[in-house]
Amino acid sequence: MSAVREPKLVQAPKRASSSTPKKAGTPVRNNTPARAAMVKRVNNNGNVRRASSTTPQYHDPDRNLTTEDAAEGTEAFKNRVSEITSFRVVARVRPFIKEELAEMEGQERRSIVEMTDTKTILLDPTDNWAPKAQFEFDASLWSIPPTHHIVHTFQDTRHKTHATQKDVYNLIAKDLVPHVFNGFNSCILSYGQTGSGKTYTMMGNYDHNAACGGDGEEGIIPRVSNDLFLILKQRMEEEEKTKQQRDRTKFRVEVSFIEIYMERVRDLLDPALRHTRGNEKLQDARIRQDPYSGPFVEGVTKYQVENWAQCCLLLDRGSQHRTTCVTAIHNQSSRSHAIYQITVLQEQVVPGKNKFALPSFRTQVGRINLVDLAGSERGGFQDYVKESAAINTSLLALRRVIDNLTERQNMLMEQARAEITGGYYQERPLPQVPFRDSVLTWLLSDSIGGNARTTMVATLSPLVKNYGDTLATLQWSSKARNLVTLVKMNDQAMVSDGMANRAGALDNAVRIQRQNLDSLRQTLRKKQEDAQQLERQTKTLKKKVDKTNARIKAIKEDQAALIIQRTFHRFMFYKKFESYELHYAKLRSAKTSGSASAGEFERIRKEAEAREQAAKQKLKEMESRTDAKAEVVARYEQCAAAREERRREAEERRAKICETINAGEVLRQYAEKRRKETDAAQAALRKTKEEFEARVQKLAEMEKTIADSKSTDVHAKNKQDAEGLAELRKRRDEIRARRFEVVKQLVALREKHKKVCRGLR
């Protein structure tokens, strides 16, 4: 199967400034709205009651509703659609792993947890496996296969089948996916001790190059991604059949993946970690508070995905950087809370109210948070004491939030029941929900006690040694089931000003041009550095050429000296040879004169022959040395042409460098000129936007005047405003033409830059 295409990056992370270091271990809560000041007031009975400040913190969208807005089909009615849902809790017991089965070899295999229908029963192994406690959940999932041959002691419970990953998904998450397309938020949490199967339930084993679904081991996150794109495909096919191209809804799916480790939020999809493993380079992210949508992570990386395989690719990429370690229960336990968020955005074009108004856009957003909580653990290594303390602190804060929400809800129910029946109710202050005690509860405040359908999976271990942790998980999960949340459709954001969109697009274009100019400046600086380096290399080569020329000159001088020396030796040889010939002639004449001096003659002759042989040998040696020197000189003379060619090439490169430096100066001047023109265009754009806003305000006043007046002055004023609007559009067209000219000049500048680069090569 072909490789999965890389998803599109739609939001890059914001890098933290090095000048403002953050304190480790504390959540960042900068720029959060101040809490409403609490004042006390005394009622008629004398009881003290807390009330918020009279100054509103935000605008209530229902404040100005009329009776006409209550009719079905109106926008106000759609925005106020809400639903009361309960906090669903599902219990799941995991099977025994291979190591545990090996330890129980030859013994009875018993589970401390039994399940019948929706009930979960905890057995006490110290009391002959008698039932210790019974808990009621929305569902109880038995995931121990029959092949484990468990001995059942509670009512002889026998499970013919066991809950697979598909059964878990169909029961927990399958019905939550369609609501995301209707503008509702959903949340699924996995809670339990370390090694109870939380990560396997949420992620499972998946392959993004294969198909998803069926009885495979894919977890909730891959299956949610798969079903989401199946529903998206169906909706797009229905849109193609029933609507025209311009009226169709545009869908976009975005994914983000973060972890909370040691009370710090870290981005697991940071592009800077693309080709790394582990969590050494993870950077902390900041949490911001929005008065309408709640808390969010500032500048978190978001990818636009097109299929479930890309979702799984990002899930796998982020899981590689998640913090894990070896614990007493699990070899690779997650030591951080992970939140995998899928956002579905639907954008629909709304026609303008009249022929002069540009169309606007209606956007609807639905989110689903898939949370894999870190497991609480009592036993651990000494090196991870702080880490375990941070995990247990966040989980304890989550429990306190659930407890206070439950208590607050019960008090409100008591008060409502007393008001309806007329019974007695002792008024007391409502408990505050400590969402800010932990980063985890702060980020999940909208999911736990706010606007989301929430389901929690309580994962259980069947081992006897985990009896205490299993009991604590069951008790708290049963208490969380009492929560009730009010789920409301997300408000539809309306962009009523089509011209504002166009102005934003022009601003983006100007920003892109500035980025391109910065890139050109950076390239120019790099070329200048290369030119300087080439100039230094040219100087080095010139020094080498001068050194070589000096050596050639010295060799030529040595060659001339050798030639003179050889000529001198030949002259001396011939002179000695002539003296020897003269001496031989004298000897021959002496020989003829008498034989008395024959012995002396023979001796002199032999000495002369010996001297002659020595002179010839010395002459041969001198000739061989002279030939060797001549050969060296000839070899240097042959290389002279190549050295001259290299010197000429160095001169040509030096000339090109000079040309490049001049071209760089021209590029810099041209870029500065374009930057000034771009700033002027942006200033004109801002001025146009201000004039346009003034015209829009003036048109609103005109519409109000038309309703009360029918005089001819109003028509004249309308005509004048129409002419002003035409002039404004004309100026907008001029700005577009100027922007097109700037882009055209920028393209020409790039072409010129490419030619310069090719000339350098």
Query: How is residue 304 annotated by DSSP?
Result: E
Q: Tell me the CB-side half-sphere exposure of residue 251, using CA atoms within 13 A.
A: 22
Phi then psi for residue 600, to 5 deg, are -65, -40
| 192 annotated to a ligand binding site | yes
Burial (CB count within 10 angstroms: exposed 0-12, middle 13-18, buried 19+), residue 303: buried
Q: What is the largest CA-CA distance in the chain?
A: 178
Residue 392: which of 444, 440, 331, 342 has the closest Cα? 440
| 422 annotated to a ligand binding site | no
| 198 annotated to a ligand binding site | yes
Alpha carbon distance 232, 244 (integer Å): 18
Contacts of 193 (CB under 8 A, 6+ apart): 329, 375, 376, 377, 461, 466, 469, 470, 473
In angstroms, the Cα distances linking 274 to 218, 318, 324, 576 are 24, 9, 19, 91
User: Contact at 8 Å (CB) between 196 and 373?
Assistant: no
3 state DSSP class of 473: helix
Alpha carbon distance 251, 256 (integer Å): 17
User: Contact at 8 Å (CB) between 89 and 458?
Assistant: yes
List of long-range contacts for 674-678, beta carbons under 8 Å, 24+ apart:
674/513, 674/517, 674/742, 674/745, 674/746, 674/749, 675/514, 675/517, 677/738, 677/742, 678/510, 678/513, 678/514, 678/517, 678/742
Burial (CB count within 10 angstroms: exposed 0-12, middle 13-18, buried 19+), residue 248: middle
Contacts of 8 (CB under 8 A, 6+ apart): 303, 304
| 366 annotated to a ligand binding site | no
User: Contact at 8 Å (CB) between 333 and 325?
Assistant: yes
Contacts of 342 (CB under 8 A, 6+ apart): 180, 224, 225, 228, 253, 254, 255, 311, 367, 368, 370
| 688 annotated to a ligand binding site | no
Give me the amino acid identity at 29: R
Q: Where are the alpha helices (DSSP H) in 334-432?
A: 385-421
User: Contact at 8 Å (CB) between 538 and 653?
Assistant: yes
**Beta 302-305 vs 250-261: how paired, if at all?**
antiparallel
Write a three-state SS string for 169-229. Answer: HHHHCCCCHHHHCCCCCEEEEEECECCCCHHHHHCECCCCCCCCCCCCCECHHHHHHHHHH
Q: Where are the alpha helices (DSSP H) in 59-116?
A: 75-79, 98-103
| 689 annotated to a ligand binding site | no
- Start-to-end CA span in the chain (Å): 41
Token pair, residue 131, equals 């039932």
Report CA Rg, the chain: 45
Tell me, rounded to whole angstroms, the distance of Cα 468 from its chain centroid: 40
Residue 346: which of 185, 226, 232, 176 has the closest Cα? 232
| 199 annotated to a ligand binding site | yes
| 116 annotated to a ligand binding site | no
Token pair, residue 217, equals 């081991």
Alpha carbon distance 645, 375 (integer Å): 75
Annotated binding site: 192-199
Annotated binding site for ATP: 192-199
